[in-house]
Amino acid sequence: MKVGIIGGGAIGLLYAFHLSKAFPVTLYVNRKEQLQLLEKYGVSMSDELGDREIFFQQWQTESQPNEDIIVVAVKQYALHSILPALETCTKKQTILFLQNGMAHLELLGKINNSSILLGVVEHGVKKNSDYSINWTGKGRTKIAGYHPPLDKNIIDFITNWEKFIGDGFPLEVCPDYQPMMTEKLLVNAVINPLTAIYHVKNGALLTNPYYKNTMKILYEEISFLIEQEKRSGMWEHICTICETTANNWSSMERDITEGRQTEIEAILGYIRKMANQKGKTVPVTEFIYQAVKGLQVPAN
């Protein structure tokens, strides 16, 4: 079973490194400069170095991945550029999406032939260079089928992952993608935009009482996405994530600092749309959404 990973960012490099322990992996990257560095140095990780059999290929507009499992590790806003290639994948292929937010669910109807998995990444990872990463927080990968039941191709993928990678890079299979992704959406919606606006690490949201109050106000406004009885537990979960990743910079904060586009549209933009559909007003969400949009580099 072969795995193709589209995207040479921090997440793409992390998954290429680990999945190559269990599968032949091809990593597709967008820039020729990165391709040349990867071909020279491979993928290196600061806390664990070793030889890995990873193949590298530059992503072209006409590229058509032919691996059994296609892991899509690009940012949410880059999906449109690769969607034409994903639409032509065959029934024998499975596509695993690893994006933050939930806006990409609207695109899945365009992929008719392939099986689809949705994933949630709980790892912290920092990209040091085009070929080097720092694994800053070890968590889990959660996956769920978009259209259950899971077919044989997916079951084989899960079995090999668990057998050859195991506890070192854990996998959790969830029965339903909706609660899995909603939980991650709420975590991202509270932590990422606020750390980007305040320009602080995750832990500062707890240690500064004013930042924590803002967190709580924002969370209470967007908690309509889950059932009433789960809201208290979800708030505790968000605070726990802040605590366990206290020394991490969020991906959105890094995007702002390094002059990149953010995933605010896929996160708070999606929540704004859900609120509108339910007839709810979300003024705090709206303010924070506009603030991040004002800070980020304009899209080309």
Domains and CATH numbers, the chain: 3-175 (3.40.50.720), 179-294 (1.10.1040.10)
Which pLDDT does position 60 carry in this prediction? Answer: 61
CA distances from 208 to 197, 214, 217, 249 (A): 14, 10, 14, 16
Q: How does pLDDT run across 125-172, given as a tens digit for each residue?
A: 889 999 999 888 888 999 999 987 888 889 999 999 999 998 889 999
Which residues are tagged catalytic? 184
Percent of the chain surpassing pLDDT 90: 73
Which pLDDT does position 28 carry in this prediction? Answer: 93
Which pLDDT does position 148 carry in this prediction? Answer: 74
Residue 299 pLDDT > 90, yes or no? no
Average pLDDT, the chain: 91
Which pLDDT does position 253 carry in this prediction? Answer: 96
Which pLDDT does position 112 carry in this prediction? Answer: 84
Q: Which band of pLDDT confidence, cut at 50, 70 and 90, is reported for residue 52?
A: low
Residue 193, preceding bond cis, omega within 30 degrees?
A: no
Burial class (CB in 10 A: 0-12, 13-18, 19+), 281: exposed
Which pLDDT does position 227 carry in this prediction? Answer: 96
**The tokens of 255 are what?**
């995007």
Cα(222)–Cα(268) distance, rounded to whole angstroms? 9
- Beta strands 115-121 and 141-145, pairing class: antiparallel
Report field, pTM of the whole predicted structure over 0.85: yes
Residue 82 pLDDT > 80, yes or no? yes
Cα(4)–Cα(7) distance, rounded to whole angstroms? 10
Which pLDDT does position 151 carry in this prediction? Answer: 86
Q: Which band of pLDDT confidence, cut at 50, 70 and 90, is reported for residue 53?
A: low
For residues 85-91, give the mean pLDDT. Answer: 88
Which pLDDT does position 57 carry in this prediction? Answer: 73
- Greatest alpha-carbon pair distance for the chain in Å reads 54
Which pLDDT does position 90 carry in this prediction? Answer: 87
Q: Which band of pLDDT confidence, cut at 50, 70 and 90, is reported for residue 287?
A: very high
